[in-house]
Structure formats: structure tokens, C-alpha cells
Structure 1
């Protein structure tokens, strides 16, 4: 009974109303649990793909491919601490600035946004010039308000 209730709660979270309306007929079927697992997995994958696409991160070199022996001024401990994402507990929205020089020439300024996206956070990777150009091109107050909400909604805005 406990397993059936757990499956029903998963179906409710997924908003599978057709399945829920016939729950008494189908709850004992062997295919219900795999169906819910497939749906959860597919939705998680599509959510990640959407977040990565809307982040505008572009190409980057993964942290695993970085040569920590060069350059010497790269602070591996600081970058490792940053990648734990603990700073998110202290802020609603964070802004990262600058390219490799501002980051102490790390593996890639895109590594942090990618990691955030994989953890389920929203990210927008843009330059100040792109942001200002985008805002300047708007021709109405309502469009400007919508666009400002767009730039204020991600949990990390980086450039």
C-alpha cells in the first residue's frame, strides 16, 4: 500500500491527470513505476537542455581538462571552493564579472554557469554590451519591464 501511495504522489507531481483519474484500475500494473521513472527522467533532461540553451553559455573547456600546473597564478583552491556553489545559500541572484583575467585565468568563466545549470539553477551568460544593446532596442515601457524581469530572473548572470 505504501508503494502505491508513493507512486500516486509521483504521478500527482508530474500532473499526469489521465493516469490519476484511472488510478484504481491501473495502480497495480507493473508498467506504472517504469512509466513514472521515464517521465521524471525525460522531464529532468528537457529542463536541463532548456536551462543550458537559455543561458547562452556557448562553447567551453570542462574543468576536468584544465592543466592546473599552468598558469601558476591560478588559485585551484579558490576555484574548487567556488564550484561547491555554497555562495548560493547567501544570495538570491549573483553576478560574475569579467573574463579569464578577472577570474585569475581559470579553466573557463563558463564552467561555473554550466555547473549551476546541471544543479538545476537558472543562468544567463551575456556581456554588459549585449545587455545594454538589448535594452536600448526596446520601444515601449512594457517591453522594457518584461526584459528587465528576464535579466533579473536567473540565479546567476555572468559575462
Structure 2
């Protein structure tokens, strides 16, 4: 590691940009090899850091929600229960009820998937912020 790279790594670490620290050397080599513009190089670094932060934010939301597991709407068994308004359930996953601080109540007998849908809805909310 050259002196310039060491100073850069130190500054990036202080700025809390771990993606930059980890990927800058490889991207610099690739940028030189492929004759990238400075803007393209910076764009790739920033996009990687943004993606890393978004993933960390989603992970923190899911952890804070204390979900008992990860469930999704795709994993729901639509063949049981026999009577379910699929369109209405899918509409809930647009999360239109969240901004006005609305509530959702899932009613049904034991074993029809209320918990699965509630966890999947909470997970979808975490993903969407």
C-alpha cells in the first residue's frame, strides 16, 4: 500500500465510508484499465456505498421489528383457506394504510395464515421504509 493509499484509507475510515475503503483500490485499477472518467469512477463508488447503507438500514429495521422469522407474500399458501380475498390481501401490501397511521385487522380461524400474513406485511413495511 502506497502512502497515498494509506492516507486515503485513513480519511475514508474517518468519514465512515467502509465501501470506499474496501473497493476503491480495485475500482481504481479497473477505472485505469478501462479509461473511466473521474465521474464514472466516483459514481460507482458512491452507488456501492449507498447500496451498502440501504442494506444495513433494512437489516436494522427488521431487527428492531423483532419478527419471529421472515415470511413473504410469495410464501403464502393461497389454496388454504378456501375463502380468501386475494386481491384485498395483495392490496394491503401496497401499504397505503401506513401514512395515515391506519390499522389492519386479520380475522379468521386458527391455522388460516393470519400470522404468516402479519409477519409478511411487517417485513414488507421494513423493506419499504
Match of 2:97 among 72, 87, 94: 87
TM-score, normalising length from structure 2? Answer: 0.58
Runs of 4 or more consecutive aligned structure 1 residues displaced over 2 Å after TM superposition: 27-31, 93-102, 104-108
Question: 5 Å matches for 1:18-57?
Answer: 28=38, 30-57=40-67
Structure 1 residues 63 and 42: CA distance shift in structure 2, 3 A:
same
2-structure distance, mates of 1:29, 1:105: 50
1-structure distance, mates of 2:95, 2:39: 41
More helix by share: 2
Asked whether the equivalents of residues 63 and 108 of structure 1 are also in contact (C-alpha less than 8 Å), the reply is yes
* 5+ long unaligned stretches in structure 2: 1-14, 16-36
TM-score, normalising length from structure 1? Answer: 0.48
Aligned residues: 95
More strand by share: 1
